Amino acid sequence: MATHNQIGQKGEALAVEYLKRKGYQILHTNWRFEKYEIDIIARIGNDIVFVEVKTRSGSSHGFPEQAVTQKKAETLFAGAEIYVEEHGLENEIRFDIISILLNQNPPDIYHIEDGISPFPLM
């Protein structure tokens, strides 16, 4: 397995544990449907949260959250729409980013609630 895949898996595991400690119920990890993939789907209260996890070994190439492109956001929104329809949900939803830097001890975990908006800024 490539190093970047191992880094990604470690980051996702850290993100799941972080969310659990914050009271989130984890519904799915690495949910897939055709070409869509969502790192974490969780519930907090009545909200369904779709989480994109970005992990880096260091910040020399920028912070992890900067890697969430508009194309990635659009794919996330489309996948979330399928998930919501597939499960017949009427909950409020939001799109979060969890950014993780592994070169810290402990790793630096930065949770950006509503970090991805389906409405681009003008």
Predicted local confidence at residue 122, as pLDDT: 44
Q: What is the CATH number of domain 3-112?
A: 3.40.1350.10
First to last CA, the chain: 41
Question: In degrees, to the nearest 5, what angle opens at C-alpha 32 toward C-alphas 99 and 66?
Answer: 25
pLDDT digits (tens, 9 = 90+) for 37-88: 999 999 999 999 999 999 988 766 778 888 898 889 999 999 999 999 999 9
Are 56 and 101 in contact by the 8 Å Cβ rule? The answer is: yes
The domain spans of the chain are 3-112
Predicted local confidence at residue 2, as pLDDT: 53
How far apart CA 17 and CA 90 sit, in angstroms, is 26
